[in-house]
Amino acid sequence: MEKTILTAVIVAAASFVLQKTLNNFLYGFVIFLTRPFKKGDKVTIRQNGREIASGHVRRRGILHVHIKDYNRNVTIIPNSVLENCTIVNSDYKSGVNYINSVKVSFDSNLNKVKGIIHNAIMTHDLTENTEENTHLILKTDDNGVIVEYNVRTPDTNTSFDVCSDIVERVVTEIQDEEDIELV
């Protein structure tokens, strides 16, 4: 009787492990076929609206994807987890993406902040941003609200100047507002 129970437990555990491995393998195959990203692409992986990894794809394996962040940490994500994630690939098309952020106090007018950022990006002559690919992400920390935004430029030659122009415009316009406080 004990041997039967032990065998059942071992079979159940093995089935569980094999199921996870098979799911990772199958979704790895789906990633291979659909190619949402390739090695070297800059990606942000979100699950239920929460960022779980951001950086460059270092390895795309049959069971896992390795994302190296900007602090040189590597996040290893099982392929099956990616099935339920949003993948933002900043390198999917030609052009260069630059993500910047501004931090404001909790009591700042966030709609006005978002409007200032959006207008600065959309009215610059050298951005490739459109309504569809201009993203604003709100995060918080102990000191305030961080508003991240994406600036897309045609190439690396224009990226620095364009992004510098936009950062300068955003900061200047926010400083002119009474109901927004930079942190």
pLDDT tens per residue across span 51-109:
999 989 999 888 899 999 878 899 999 988 888 888 888 765 556 777 888 999 999 99
State whether 101 and 38 are in the same domain: no
- The confidence band for 28, taking pLDDT boundaries of 50, 70 and 90, is confident
Yes or no: say if 147 and 117 are a contact pair by the CB < 8 Å rule.
Answer: yes
State whether 43 and 101 are in the same domain: no
pLDDT at position 95 is: 63
**What is the residue range of 102's domain?**
96-175
Last residue of a domain, one of 24, 55, 89: 89
CATH number of the domain within which 33 lies: 2.30.30.60
Residue 183 lies inside a defined structural domain of this protein: no
Total domains, the chain: 2
pLDDT at position 24 is: 73
Last residue of a domain, one of 89, 117, 144: 89
Last residue of a domain, one of 89, 108, 131: 89
pLDDT in tens, 142-160: 999 999 888 888 877 777 8
Predicted TM-score (pTM) of the model is 0.50
Residue 180 lies inside a defined structural domain of this protein: no
